[in-house]
Amino acid sequence: MILPKNKFQKARDFILTNARMIERRLFEFHFANGDMNGVYHAVYAYRNPDGGFGHGMEPDTASPESQPLFSIMALETLDEVGYMTKDLILKDFMPYFESITTEKGGIPWMFRPKSDYPCEGHFKTVKEWAALSTTAPLLGILEKYEINIPWMKKAEEFVWSEFERIQDKHAFCYLCVPRWLTFLEHTKNRDRAERIINDLKSWILNNGIICEDKTDDGWGLYGKPHSLNYATSPNSILYSIFTKQVLNSDIETLISKQKEDGRWDTWYGISEGTKLEWAGIQTLSVLKTLKNYDKIEK
Q: Which domain does 291 fall in, by range?
A: 1-19+226-298
**Half-sphere exposure (CA, 13 Å, Cβ side) for 229?**
22
Please indicate, yes or no, if residue 235 is contained in any of the structural domains: yes
Please indicate, yes or no, if residue 5 is contained in any of the structural domains: yes
Whether the Cβ atoms of residue 44 and residue 22 lie closer than 8 Å to each other:
no
Please indicate, yes or no, if residue 117 is contained in any of the structural domains: no
Q: What is the DSSP letter of 104?
A: T
Please indicate, yes or no, if residue 102 is contained in any of the structural domains: no
Q: Which amino acid is at 16?
A: L
Burial class (CB in 10 A: 0-12, 13-18, 19+), 294: exposed
Please indicate, yes or no, if residue 272 is contained in any of the structural domains: yes
- Could you tell me how many residues make up the chain? 298
Please indicate, yes or no, if residue 244 is contained in any of the structural domains: yes
Whether the Cβ atoms of residue 287 and residue 11 lie closer than 8 Å to each other:
yes
Predicted confidence (pLDDT) per residue in 220-277, tens digit: 999 899 999 999 999 999 999 999 999 999 999 999 999 999 999 998 999 999 999 9
Predicted confidence (pLDDT) per residue in 47-102, tens digit: 999 999 999 899 999 899 999 999 999 999 999 999 999 999 999 999 999 999 99
Please indicate, yes or no, if residue 269 is contained in any of the structural domains: yes
Q: CB-based contacts of 249: which residues, under 8 Å, 6+ apart?
A: none
**What is the pTM assigned to this prediction?**
0.96
Q: CB-based contacts of 224: which residues, under 8 Å, 6+ apart?
A: 211, 216, 218
* Cα gap 114→89, rounded to integer Å: 27
Domains contained in the chain, number? 1
